Structures are given as structure tokens and as C-alpha cells.
Amino acid sequence: MFDVVTGGAGFIGSHLVDTLVAQGNEVLVIDSLYAGRRQTIARHIDDYKVRFIQSDLLGDGWQEHLEGADRIFHLAADPDVRQSAINPDPTLQNNIMATYRVLEAMRLYAVPELVFTSTSTVYGDAKIIPTPEDYAPMLPVSVYGATKLACEALISSYCHSFGMKSWIYRFANIVGERSGHGVITDFIRKLKENPAELEILGDGKQVKSYLEVHECVAAMLFALRSRDTVNIYNIGSEDWIDVRSIAEIVAEEMHLPNIKFRFTGGERGWVGDVPRMQLSIDRIKSRRWKPEIGSQDSVRIATRDLLKAL
Ligand code: NAD
């Protein structure tokens, strides 16, 4: 099996690469290192198990390397919801335009299958909680969510127009070692700077699903058993945790028992934040996959792994 992983030097991508290499697949990583680090996959490159091309998908020169590929795992994206409300253009370029360019390259080089990492934010402020995959109307409240929804639409149209298959995974919050963004990383950074007080964006009551990255990769590979033209799955845990409880776990793991929490207030932590994100994972469970741990343990394990790496 010849797999291409865009964004393979990033957080989730590098864990996916570890698993694909362990399965004995031929792996090509394309990453601009815009946010990823070569170091995350360096051992595979040194062992000649992974070929690495440092290239921006918005540029050229990478497309011909897709010749003969069986699948593309397209993870490269700008995943920063907050930044997308400050300066939308990089999000539009790195998400919509880059995905369009991947689809065009697939069409030209006859790559038959695409795995795409979408997000819970495509649902916006969903009125049905937990939110199933067929929830409508999908009205994202962040530019990031909107770009991912646009990508989903493009992917569906390419699959139906050009005989490709796709797997669209709407992730909850994925946490774990090598994560460079998200609430746990943010809390650890802030607490390293000031161990006496932690600023929490919003009222701390935002409730969301968190899934540990190894479980996420396992679910991504498991759901490939579905063979429809477009296969859509929510990937998350079966339960939820609020932001205040995450802060308590991080403080506990950093041995800071007397810390003061300071809330910035409001039900949303930032523009585009969704205060309640609880995905229904009934669809993937009905195919007989479920996560082994819940949100709380995912957060604790991720905190420990991130602290070890510091
Ligand atoms: P990440 O930032 O660690 O990884 C993204 C990678 O893409 C980086 O290595 C970056 O250098 C690369 N990249 C970005 N733009 C590029 C471009 N134009 N050309 C080539 N490479 C480019 O992010 P992540 O958390 O690992 O996310 C991976 C995917 O999963 C993204 O598509 C993200 O939107 C999606 N996702 C992540 C989460 C989460 O909780 N981490 C949740 C929902 C969806």
C-alpha cells in the first residue's frame, strides 16, 4: 500500500505516519513545516521508511510524486479557530485552496481514495446534542468550520464526478503528545509562565469531547472498512468534560494545588468558539469501534505526555 500523508509532520499526521509505517506501508509525507516539525518523523526518514517532501500545497512540484499512490490522507490545514476570526485568509488558503489542489492532483494522477480530517465545528451551534453526522442545517460559527465544510462539499463533488472514494472524519478535540495547539497546551504554557494564576478563556463551562490521539488514529483506520463513495464519521469520545475540569487536571498534573483561576467571562472563550460540542459516535460504534477511554482520561494522558516532552 502506497500512502501519501499531507500534514504528516504535524500533531495527528505524525502519529498516523507511525501507524502506517508499523503496518509496513510505503509512506510519502508532504508538509510545508508551516506548523509541523520534521523531527516528529525524522526516525522514519532516517530509516528510509518515509519519504519526505517539504512543500507547500499551495505551490507546485509535489503533484507528480502522487503517481502510483493508493490513498491520500489529507491532514494539512490551518487548524486555528481563533486566528481564523482575526485573519481569515490563511485559513481559506490552507484549507479550501489546498484541498482543491489536492483533489486536482488526485484527478490528474488517478489517485482513487482520499481521507479528509474535518471537524465538529462544521455543525456550528448544533441544536441536537449529541450531534449525529446527518444533523442539519450545518451553519458553522467560525471561519475555520466554514472552510472545512466547504472542503467536504468539494470532496463529495469530486468523488461523484471523477470516480473517487472518500472518508470524511469530523473530529472532536484530539489531544496528546506532539500537540502544538489547543486548550491543554495553552494551559501548560500559561502555567509555566505564571504558576500562581491561570487565565481561562470564557466562563470555564464550555463542554466538549476530547479523544486521545492514538485512539483517533485507530478510529481513522478502522472506518476505512466502509466503502461508500463518501463515508462520513464523527470521531470522538463517548463523554464530555468542561474547561474548568481540564484546568484542574492540568494543575494537578503540574503539582500546583493552590492555583487561582481567572475567567475572562462569557459563554464563548473566543469568537467562533462553540460552547457545547458533544458528538454522537453512534455511527462508528454501530460498525463496532469505540474508544477505550473517555474525555477525562484522554485529557490526563495528554497532559502527562505533553509535560514529559517539555
Ligand atoms: P497541525 O497544525 O499539527 O498539523 C497540520 C500540518 O499541516 C502541519 O504540519 C503544517 O505544517 C501542515 N500544513 C499546513 N498548511 C500546509 C500547506 N499549505 N501545505 C503543506 N503543509 C501544510 O494540526 P493537527 O492538530 O495535527 O490537525 C491535523 C488535521 O486534523 C487538520 O486538518 C485539522 O484541521 C484537523 N482537526 C484537528 C483537530 C484537533 O483537535 N487537533 C480537531 C479537528 C480537526
The sign of the torsion formed by the CA atoms of 237, 243, 248, 253 equals positive
255 in the same domain as 221: no
Type of residue found at 115: V
CB within 8 Å of 250: residues ≥ 6 apart:
184, 187, 188, 191, 299, 303
One-letter identity of residue 251: A
40 lines ligand 1 (CB under 6 A): no
In this predicted model, what pLDDT tens digit does every residue of 93-130 receive, in sequence order? 999 999 999 999 999 999 999 999 999 999 999 999 99
Domain coverage including residue 103: 2-173+212-235
Say which CATH number the domain at 226 has. Answer: 3.40.50.720
pLDDT at 257: 87
Task: Say which CATH number the domain at 291 has.
Answer: 3.90.25.10
Residues 82, 14, single domain; the answer is: yes
Per-residue DSSP letters for 121-184? GGGBS-SSSSBPTT-S--B-SSHHHHHHHHHHHHHHHHHHHHT-EEEEEEE-EEE-TT--SSHH
37 and 128 together in one domain: yes
Does 52 share its domain with 182?
no
Protein residue with its CA nearest to atom 39 in ligand 1: 174
Note whether 234 and 133 are within 8 A (CB): yes
What per-residue confidence (pLDDT) applies to 140? Answer: 98
Tens place of pLDDT for every residue, the chain, 310 residues? 999 999 999 999 999 999 999 999 999 999 999 999 999 999 999 999 999 999 999 999 999 999 999 999 999 999 999 999 999 999 999 999 999 999 999 999 999 999 999 999 999 999 999 999 999 999 999 999 999 999 999 999 999 999 999 999 999 999 999 999 899 999 999 999 999 999 999 999 999 999 999 999 999 999 999 999 999 999 999 999 999 999 999 999 999 988 999 999 999 999 999 999 999 999 999 999 999 999 999 999 999 999 998 7
Question: pTM for the complete prediction?
Answer: 0.98
Q: Which of 285, 274, 231, 295 is nearest to 127 (CA)?
A: 274
Instruction: Specify whether 264 is located in the same domain as 123.
Output: no
Query: How confident is the model at residue 310, as a pLDDT?
Result: 77
Q: Which of 5, 12, 237 to mutate to test the pocket of ligand 1 (most atoms within 8 A of CB)?
A: 12
What pLDDT was estimated at residue 50? 98
The candidate with the shortest Cα–Cα distance to 234, out of 80, 117, 74, is: 117
Per-residue model confidence (pLDDT) at position 32: 98
Q: What separation in Å is there between the alpha carbon of 10 and the centre of ligand 1?
A: 6
Those residues whose C-beta lies under 8 Å from the C-beta of residue 38, and which sit 6 or more positions away, are: 9, 45, 52, 54
Residues 156 and 204 in one domain: no
Residue 210: strand pairing partners: 173
Q: What is the pLDDT of residue 164?
A: 98
Number of domains forming the structure of the chain: 2
Instruction: State whether the beta carbon of 241 lies less than 6 angstroms from ligand 1.
Output: no
Answer yes or no: do 168 and 188 share one domain.
no
- Clarify whether residues 223 and 179 are in a common domain: no
Q: Which residues pair with 276 in a beta bridge?
A: 207
Q: What is the pLDDT of residue 214?
A: 98
Q: Which residues contact 128 (CB under 8 A, 6 or more apart)?
A: 135
| 145 and 33 fall within a common domain | yes
Verify that 86 and 189 share a domain, yes or no: no
* Shared domain check, 129 and 231: yes
Residues 10 and 138 in one domain: yes
pLDDT reported for residue 309: 87
Q: What share of the chain is helix, strand, coil (3-state, %, to 5)?
A: 40, 20, 35
CA-proximal residue: ligand 1, atom 41 (nearest): 174
